[in-house]
Amino acid sequence: MIFSQKKNNLEFNKLIQPHMVHINQLAYRLTGNKDDAQDLVQDFLIKVFPRFDTLDQERGIKSWLSRVLYNTYIDQWRKQKNNPIQVVSDINKYDMDDETFFNEHICQRFCPAEMLNLSQQQQILIRLLFRLKNEHRIVITMHDIEGYTLPELSEILGVTLGTLKSRLHRARAKLKILIEQEKLGEVEVVA
């Protein structure tokens, strides 16, 4: 019995490990901070582990894993939304000081000199993204940052293609307004 469990754990790790950087990146982009991202990934792994026997049979495992992660995020978001006690303030939701986690899981592709400049720009962009409605932030994050196509997003998010196109257009327009306001130094929230 114990040998079987260890074998299952090893097989699960072998199957899921190539996707963990992507899972961590997406979790961080969805939640906006290290602690919530780690909690989300842990809940995600708990959901996926019992079904890992069917994982290697899944077509588009990355999309399937992203859908499970997204659904787990939505479940957590709904619980937090309905919770009368909200521990994290919306203003400080994003861990701007947590450079280690940011560098390890988000910006692995860049050299340190590029990171210095990109980090400042990315922090501003991330802060602005979190000022958008949740549905707009998610579609921009998954389409423009993660690189999912609209048909893939339709499957992952369970939303029609037309609705996604509309959300993406509105999200980009609102983000453009926020960026222009940032350049002008205005601090108005556009929802």
CATH for 167: 1.10.10.10
Q: For helices 34-48 and 20-31, what crossing angle results, to 10°? A: 130
- Mean pLDDT of all residues in 34-43: 91
Same domain, yes or no: 172 and 85: no
Same domain, yes or no: 58 and 144: no
At which of 58, 81, 110 does a domain end?
A: 110
At which of 80, 110, 140 does a domain end?
A: 110
pLDDT at residue 93, as a whole number: 45
Does residue 166 surpass a pLDDT of 80? yes
Query: Which tens digits make up the pLDDT trace of 86-142?
Result: 433 443 444 444 445 444 444 444 445 555 555 677 778 888 888 999 899 999 988
Closest CA to 15 of 50, 41, 46, 53: 53
pLDDT at residue 165, as a whole number: 94
Same domain, yes or no: 14 and 56: yes
> How would DSSP label each residue in 52-75?
HHHHTT-SSHHHHHHHHHHHHHHH
pLDDT at residue 87, as a whole number: 38
What's the burial of 83, exposed, middle or buried (CB within 10 Å: 0-12/13-18/19+)? exposed
Same domain, yes or no: 14 and 49: yes
Note the pTM of the prediction, 2 decimals.
0.58
Summary mean pLDDT of the chain:
76
For residue 85, how far is the Cα from the chain centroid? 24
